[in-house]
Amino acid sequence: MENFYYTSDKGVILKIKAVPNSSKNEICGLLDDALKVKIKAPAVENKANEELVKFISKLLKVPKSSVSLKSGATSKIKTLYIEGCTIDKIKDVCGNIIS
């Protein structure tokens, strides 16, 4: 299985499988080579993407402006770039979920 994260420039790239219209925002674990993340917001008018960015920034304790959607705006498989984040921080936050 591939990693769902990669280092890039001054941050980390995350591959995410987004599940909109969920009862709450949460990380569910790994699905193939992506991190499965449930999002409360619907997949309408970019609301789910905005909620995903907000959730990931809060989870990793980085500013929302540091999290950007690189690909997958209209797909369930998304790539996020988190500037100023490290692999160690990803492992700290997601370690118990992905182990």
For the stretch 8-50, pLDDT in tens is 889 999 999 999 999 999 999 898 889 999 999 999 999 999 9
Domain range for 77 is 5-90
Task: Look at the chain and count its residues.
Answer: 99
The per-residue pLDDT for 52 is 97
Is 95 part of any domain? no
Report the pLDDT value the prediction gives residue 2, as an integer from 0 to 100: 54
> How do residues 38-94 score in pLDDT, each as one tens digit?
999 999 999 999 999 999 999 999 999 999 999 999 999 999 999 999 888 888 887
Task: Round to the nearest angstrom and report the end-to-end CA distance of the chain.
Answer: 13
CATH of residue 43's domain is: 3.30.1200.10
96 inside domain: no
Residue-level pLDDT at 1: 38
Model-level pTM? 0.91
Q: Which residues contact 14 (CB under 8 A, 6 or more apart)?
A: 4, 5, 35, 56, 79, 80, 82, 90
Is 97 part of any domain?
no
Q: Number of structural domains, the chain?
A: 1
In a domain, 99, yes or no: no
Q: Is residue 47 part of a domain?
A: yes
